[in-house]
Amino acid sequence: MEYRHLGRTGLKVSRLCMGTMNFGWTAPEENAYAVFDAFAAAGGNFFDTADVYSRWVEGNPGGVAETFVGRWLKKSGAPRDKMVIATKVRGRMGDGPNDEGLSRAHILNAVEASLRRMQIDYIDLYQTHSYDEHAPIEETLRALDDLVRQGKVRYVGCSNYPAWRLMEALWVSDRLGLARFDSLQPHYNLVHRAEFELELRDVCNTYGLGVIPYSPLAGGFLTGKYRRGHTPPAGTRGATSRRIKDYLARDRNHDLVDRLRAMGEARGKSVAQMALAWLLADPVITAPIVGANTVAQWNEIAGALEVSLSEDEKNELDELSKWE
């Protein structure tokens, strides 16, 4: 396993980040422990979760993935100081008027709940899950700065921010001497490039933010399991997700997958491994957030670390997937 600094910080994180959104949703608790064990055994130290995972499942109050992470830390005996645990705040976690958002009130309540669920006394990277147009950015950043000063949080980051809101946050932190966002979680992959590349990429590169892309395999589209002209199998995301249906409707996306497949076959690698290799070849990217329901899926994902794209291959994939 390789490691990179998280943006301009001195914190080193594994080249792949283990996402946890699927646990308690598409995979049970026992799978989580097996996958986490395999990830740690491979040298992985970076875990990403959120308080709202998996609140969208009927009967799930949220916090389930955080609970699994905490139980695994205790069960496995993994040294806490060797693991980098990231979680997020913003989403609705109750029925009250202050049970969501980025107000000081909600952040201070949410961080305590996350710490309890994970049975830890500090969070390595605390991230705002998306911006909150109703909470002044100064209020949000002062609350996060207090958590850093108290030692409950070590670094702060954000996710799903447009460039202008990210720049505003960086400016306010600089002006007021507050802890600043040191990472960004953008939605970024070979078939979803414009959102990050239009402006956010330059902001992260210029101001030294770590980049932790989520959905690096486009919800499964970039695994090659969906075939041109074939109806997505029942029970897959492709059968229900509007976004994946949009991917499926474009011939150029299928052309891209065909090329990834050909490149992979020449190496004995899968479509998913080649798609991840494209991200890993980008010096701006710190660690894609990957999800695995089983150890076998993790082992396939880990194979991407063995792939080194040539400059010509990288340029070809850039051209095939360029946004308009």
Report the C-alpha gap between 232 and 40 in whole angstroms: 33
Of 111, 123, 193, 120, the closest CA to residue 151 belongs to 123
- 216: tokens are 């690096």
Give, for 319, the enclosing helix (H) or strand (E).
Answer: helix 311-320
Pairing of strands 210-211, 123-128: unpaired
Tell me, what DSSP letter sits at residue 153? E
Distance of CA 45 to the CA centre of its chain: 14
Report the C-alpha gap between 211 and 220 in whole angstroms: 21
The helix/strand/coil state of 179 is coil
Report the C-alpha gap between 23 and 142 in whole angstroms: 32
Q: Give the bridge partners for 84, in sequence order.
A: 46
Of 41, 23, 40, the closest CA to residue 32 belongs to 23
| Residue where the block lists tokens 């646990």 | 23
Report the C-alpha gap between 190 and 192 in whole angstroms: 6
Specify the amino acid at residue 149: R
Cβ atoms of residues 292 and 298 within 8 Å: yes
CA geometry: angle 257, 261, 265, nearest 5 deg: 175
Asked about 161 being catalytic, the answer comes back as no
Query: Cis peptide before 241, with omega less than 30 degrees from 0?
Result: no
Cβ atoms of residues 212 and 289 within 8 Å: yes
Which residue is catalytic, options 33, 53, 214, 226?
53
- Active-site residue list: 53
